[in-house]
Structure 1
């Protein structure tokens, strides 16, 4: 009995000691959190103070020492700094006052009652969409007066929507609200960015700034690999892929300080509100405009493992349908218009979501909601730990990209070698007639290019560009386009139709990148990749249709 009592006392004593130790550990963690809170607050106040001091100084210098105007400096000088200053303080005001106090009351007393009222109106949504359709048709009737050939592009849009419906994995689950608003947004962006010069200039400025930011990675890459390989020869592995290291490094730091969580939530709200898509896929679609398929998913890294198949399909479709800011300079060097390159990517953002939700509708419960995204905290010990882990993740992605590109592109050239040999045996030896995957697809794509609005006598040329882009990559396609004699409108339509990453090498990149970021979902990625590849291709074609619809044959483009 005494031994039993003694053992029981020892156990109780150990339990009490463990509880005391747990209490000390908890207390230490709370102290660390408290000290970290005050340190972060002090850093934020110091940063805001420095921003104000510099802005006042810059304002004084701009007014007193220069003769520049705000309009002339909106993208390069004081005007641009003023815009950033306003955005920074709007973000602070939104977080501290608008979001916690104003927005809940607005939703409760204004927005929700308005939505409920509209829902009570019988066939209210149908009436609204019919009115929008009538407005668009009226605009096109007036705008295409004397140039009805442009309306063929409208037929092309209808054909692609029908194809998406036929390919849909679950036709009964299609959310037509999302599809319709995606088309409306795409057309509206086309009006603002193709027809309105100011809109083009704004997006050109944003694209230039993002491109400049990512190019800072070239300085680090040139230090490691040498200026010859990085800047003079522009070797892909050392030039274009360097931005992934830098971007992953920066993203992890922003996650550590909680900045990226707010950016992710904020950017997705508008698209989510308009189209009814989830916040993660909405944010990804917006950020892919400038960051590309490899970098954009890094912003959603903590949430990828919980995404539904439809959300994953949307992310992949957006990656295939757009290009990143890092490669625009290469396309421009081949003669492509910077304004149209930016416009093509921006217009494809809502279109990619629209078409993805048509082909792969949502059938599961969405886990990564806005509330959970804002609550996620990255598990980093320090800002240096966050930065180092970002570069480690980037290393895995870069290695995967390089290996996949070598394998996929080599395979295409292997197929072309066989086709060329078979053609040679039956007399096709001329350089322009050598059998290849691109040549065959150029013939196949003739009707596709025609319904985009290309003149019939140039359809095969544009179709060949699409074939090259689809089976090799868009770099080769833009290079080929620079040597082609195309009319201005056909060149613009071709630019829009090939301005996307949908090619075999990108399939490997997509699987490698997302497979690294979500290793437990590789089977899902393999199942969805070809469907999203096709959706990405058709998204580019739809954007080209909108361009063909809005640009006249004799207009300056």
Structure 2
């Protein structure tokens, strides 16, 4: 029964994307079909084979080792604070972003990441028929945040039509930055966080290429990685990466304080009118039918739905912090589905972040992004639903 509901959820997700499409006749159904098969194969391989599980374990162990290195640096600076479960969230979780951001900056300066991303993107473009820039940006968005991923292709922005701009913006919203993956893994099961990264890339390329189909001439489809890093030395890369990571950590901390306080304020206002009712419960009922289709058990779907809804109206860090204490009470399947759903930047605030970044690159195109902002969020929610549903089929 769960498999049938999952298949129905996939059909409905693609159906909604099709209804949102601005050019239904130009949709590359073959490319979408190929990516769906690849997505199913990747999920099956990761969850249903010993080799796939060993790969996930190996990657998780590598991240955990990097987390240890990061905690050494944090421990030196905040000596006297205990870095353990239940400790200070800012020190335990958010400051790790600084080390991961530094590492990404160095790998980018050394051209290691850009070359890997370029060739993986080229392979995806070859297999699926999608343009190279969109494929490159899809892979690039796994590693870098919304702003950084868009800035990496700024030299190609003059080639981007409205539909192409939609796809690259969707990739930025439907992904997460590798610099904060380590922080996520300290809150929720690491295997689901890691699997969500490639699944969201494929889900986004499928959904966005249905909503905004593109057909690009070869002369307008080149990827230039020369401008990815402007650092002049490895030490400058380390310094800039650390500063960027520190800025992200402070921004996340500020947003968490603002959003969680705002949730409490909204709940207080609601309870003045409807005693005992919270915004989380309301969101749980809104997401109830979606959760059932995704494969969440009926007795757990209200709690799960409230977390998913909270993520959309706030951000993934707020939702993860609320979901973390619930993971031991819920089934493994529900935990997996919700964790994958939460692992993306799909929320209202991301519209402003992406539009602001595009404005810094090309002010005329920022107007276009602002115009399709709500459509961008709707598509990215479908991406999260699709990825989480795929995972649910194998749990």
TM-score w.r.t. the length of structure 2 is 0.79
Q: Does the alignment pair 1:177 with 2:33?
A: no
Aligned equivalents of 1:496 and 1:209: distance in 2?
20
Q: Give the aligned partner of residue 441 of structure 1.
A: 283
Q: Deviations over 1:317-376 (max 9, x none)?
A: 334434445555555555x43223322332222111111111222266687634x51566
1:421 to 266, 272, 280: 272
SS at match of 1:451: helix
Q: Displacement of 1:250 after TM fit? A: 1.3
Q: Does the alignment pair 1:161 with 2:14?
A: yes
- What RMSD over aligned residues (CA atoms) do the two structures have, in Å? 3.8
Q: Give the aligned partner of residue 384 of structure 2.
A: 540
1:450 to 281, 292, 302: 292
2:55 to 181, 196, 202: 202
SS at match of 2:206: helix
1:320–1:537: 8 Å Cα contact kept in structure 2?
no
Q: Displacement of 1:380 after TM fit? A: 5.9
- The 1:238/1:202 distance shift into structure 2, 3 A limit, reads closer
Aligned equivalents of 2:2 and 2:18: distance in 1?
26
Aligned equivalents of 1:301 and 1:381: distance in 2?
19
Q: Deviations over 1:67-123 (max 9, x none)?
A: xxxxxxxxxxxxxxxxxxxxxxxxxxxxxxxxxxxxxxxxxxxxxxxxxxxxxxxxx
- The 1:457/1:394 distance shift into structure 2, 3 A limit, reads closer
Q: Displacement of 1:440 after TM fit? A: 1.4
- The 1:218/1:518 distance shift into structure 2, 3 A limit, reads farther
1:345 to 197, 210, 214: 197
- Say how many residue pairs are matched: 387
1:362 to 214, 217, 224: 214
Q: Does the alignment pair 1:471 with 2:313?
A: yes
Gapped regions of structure 2 (runs ≥ 5): none
Q: Give the aligned partner of residue 373 of structure 1.
A: 224
Q: Does the alignment pair 1:250 with 2:106?
A: yes
Aligned equivalents of 1:254 and 1:307: distance in 2?
27
Q: Displacement of 1:306 after TM fit? A: 3.9
Aligned equivalents of 2:83 and 2:158: distance in 1?
38
SS at match of 1:456: coil
Q: Displacement of 1:162 after TM fit? A: 0.3
1:307–1:366: 8 Å Cα contact kept in structure 2?
no
- The 1:488/1:229 distance shift into structure 2, 3 A limit, reads closer
Aligned equivalents of 1:314 and 1:214: distance in 2?
32
Matches within 5 A, 1:511-526: 511=355, 514-515=357-358, 518=361, 520=363, 521-526=365-370
Aligned equivalents of 1:204 and 1:295: distance in 2?
30
Aligned equivalents of 2:212 and 2:286: distance in 1?
26
Matches within 5 A, 1:119-518: 148-210=1-63, 212-213=65-66, 216=69, 228=81, 233-235=88-90, 239-243=95-99, 245-247=101-103, 249-251=105-107, 253-255=109-111, 259-289=112-142, 291=143, 293-294=145-146, 297=149, 300=152, 302-303=154-155, 305-306=157-158, 308=160, 309-328=162-181, 331-334=184-187, 336-362=188-214, 369-370=221-222, 372-373=223-224, 411-423=262-274, 428-429=275-276, 434-436=277-279, 438-472=280-314, 473-482=318-327, 484=329, 486-507=330-351, 509-511=353-355, 514-515=357-358, 518=361
1:186–1:347: 8 Å Cα contact kept in structure 2?
yes
Q: Displacement of 1:235 after TM fit? A: 0.8
Q: Displacement of 1:268 after TM fit? A: 0.9
Higher RCO, 1 or 2 (CA under 8 Å, sep at least 6)? 2
1:420–1:435: 8 Å Cα contact kept in structure 2?
yes
2:193–2:343: 8 Å Cα contact kept in structure 1?
yes
Q: Give the aligned partner of residue 86 of structure 1.
A: none
Q: Which moved more, 1:170-179 or 1:381-390?
A: 381-390
- The 1:499/1:376 distance shift into structure 2, 3 A limit, reads closer
1:284–1:296: 8 Å Cα contact kept in structure 2?
no
Matches within 5 A, 1:109-124: none
* Larger CA Rg, structure 1 vs 2: 1
- The 1:446/1:217 distance shift into structure 2, 3 A limit, reads same
TM-score w.r.t. the length of structure 1 is 0.59
SS at match of 2:294: coil
Q: Displacement of 1:272 after TM fit? A: 1.1
Gapped regions of structure 1 (runs ≥ 5): 1-147, 552-557
- The 1:393/1:149 distance shift into structure 2, 3 A limit, reads closer
Aligned equivalents of 1:160 and 1:343: distance in 2?
20
Aligned equivalents of 2:97 and 2:182: distance in 1?
14
1:187–1:546: 8 Å Cα contact kept in structure 2?
yes
